[in-house]
Structure 1
Amino acid sequence: MGTASGVCQGTLGELYQGPLRHGPEPDIALVSFPVDHHSWVHFTHGVDPQGPPPLGEKSVAAVRLFLERFALELPPGRWSAHSDLRVGVGMASSTADIVAALRCLFHIFSLPYDADVVTGILSSIERADSVFLEEFALYLSARHRVVRRLGTAIGFHTAYITEPGTVDTAAVTPLLLRHYRRRAQEYERCLTDLLKGFSASDPAAVARAATASAVLSQEVLPKRTFEAAFAHREQFGADGVFVAHTGSLVGYLFAHRPALGLKDELSAFFHSLGHQCSFAQGGYG
């Protein structure tokens, strides 16, 4: 009894988004960039609900699918939710909301957390990121398949901005796949370098590959501030540049925490481009 809660991390876009061939046509593969920002879902037992549950439409669908899967009935109580993930910019807010709701349900019914249940429910709702894992992974977002687990040795400090506007991932998928076919060799090299960097626990190598992926993304879904950020990366001593490939985030990767003076400079730089700079820790190392 009392309160049950579920929490899920979000992302700062991806360190890689590109093709991975698992059949006659390439699939969209991701290496999501987890960030220390979260979505929360709470359920307080025995408290009368006040109106409809304050969960998004997809989270409500996830709750229904969970209850149907286990032939359970929700006890009396009240839902509440909170998130510090921005919607529609590439922070995996929708997937994080769903996973947080599912994690809360596992606690409500005292069931052991089962990632296969989570991916099964996600596959019925949306293309998703791998935020339900507690490590980096090469992940097929449409098939909801973990291709390779990449561990928790890599972490970065980041300085990033969010451009205005949103991207409809489903709508741009055909455009992405055409771009992937044109640039297949470049993406293959990029992914090979990224996986080698993870295998060697080398953040500098991972950052270089993430930058290459961001540069390729600029050809198909360009960010207005990317060219300026890319041109100034050495001035700020950044190890790399990252983006939300189908979102609106652009930022720098630092293997070591930026000093306070550097944060001042980064903030002034991004402000000169018309954006407020944010700082966050991404990954796990």
Structure 2
Amino acid sequence: MAVAQCPASCGELIQGWILGSEKLVSCPVDWYSTVEVETGVPRKDERPLSRAMVDQLLAHWGYPPALSQQIRITLHSTIPVAKGMASSTADIAATAVATAHHLGHLLDEPTLARLCVALEPTDSTLFRQLTLFD
């Protein structure tokens, strides 16, 4: 089993058109999405974007798609959903990191960011420190 977590955001410290493109620096808060990934049957109550992240990672590393049905995702979150607090970013980022560890891979921040952005607009809370993100 592997566990990872990602914080919520209470908005942006900086957001706007900077140096020719849209950028933001999210303001993390002490609420978290914690994800456990282990071998097992998928849960019926899992969030669809978390499963999509597992599938995306399997493809990224060349695993057979059928392996997805042997990976169980358990999500615990203190982040309110659909309130603009980056709950989806926290869910998919934590899922990605936990899945990578479960499969024995390292996941650097640029790759994590690319994978998250491929699924949905993403906040910069997925980085370990405040980051200007475009």
Do both proteins adopt the same fold according to a TM-score greater than 0.5, normalized to the shorter chain? yes
Following superposition, the deviation at residue 16 of structure 1 comes to 1.9
Matching of residues 96-245 of structure 1 within 5 Å: 96-140=90-134
Deviates more, 1:130-139 or 1:92-101: 130-139
- Structure 2 counterpart of 1:62: 53
Judged with a 3 Å threshold, the aligned counterparts in structure 2 of structure 1 residues 50 and 74 are, in CA distance, closer, same or farther, namely closer
- Structure 2 counterpart of 1:17: 15
- Structure 2 counterpart of 1:38: 32
CA distance in 2, matches of 1:55, 1:100: 14
Counterpart contact for 2:38–2:102, Cα < 8 Å: no
Task: Show structure 1 runs of 5+ residues with no match.
Answer: 141-285
Paired letter, 2:61: F
**Alpha-carbon deviations, 1:119-169, whole Å to 9, x = none?**
2212211111111211112211xxxxxxxxxxxxxxxxxxxxxxxxxxxxx
- Structure 1 counterpart of 2:80: 86
CA distance in 2, matches of 1:21, 1:43: 39
The RMSD of aligned alpha carbons is 1.9
Does the residue aligned with 1:136 lie in a helix, a strand or coil?
coil
CA distance in 1, matches of 2:43, 2:50: 16
CA distance in 2, matches of 1:20, 1:79: 37
Does the residue aligned with 1:118 lie in a helix, a strand or coil?
helix
Greater gyration radius: 1
**Alpha-carbon deviations, 1:2-25, whole Å to 9, x = none?**
x21121111111112222242xxx
Paired letter, 2:55: R
Counterpart contact for 2:5–2:35, Cα < 8 Å: yes
Following superposition, the deviation at residue 74 of structure 1 comes to 4.3
Tell me the number of residue pairs that the alignment of Structure 1 and Structure 2 aligns: 131
- Structure 2 counterpart of 1:218: none
Does the residue aligned with 1:139 lie in a helix, a strand or coil?
coil
Task: Show structure 2 runs of 5+ residues with no match.
Answer: none
**Alpha-carbon deviations, 1:221-265, whole Å to 9, x = none?**
xxxxxxxxxxxxxxxxxxxxxxxxxxxxxxxxxxxxxxxxxxxxx
- Whether 2:70 is the aligned partner of 1:76: answer yes
CA distance in 1, matches of 2:117, 2:73: 24
Judged with a 3 Å threshold, the aligned counterparts in structure 2 of structure 1 residues 110 and 31 are, in CA distance, closer, same or farther, namely same
CA distance in 2, matches of 1:88, 1:77: 26
CA distance in 1, matches of 2:58, 2:108: 14
Structure with bigger RCO (C-alpha 8 Å, 6+ apart)? 2
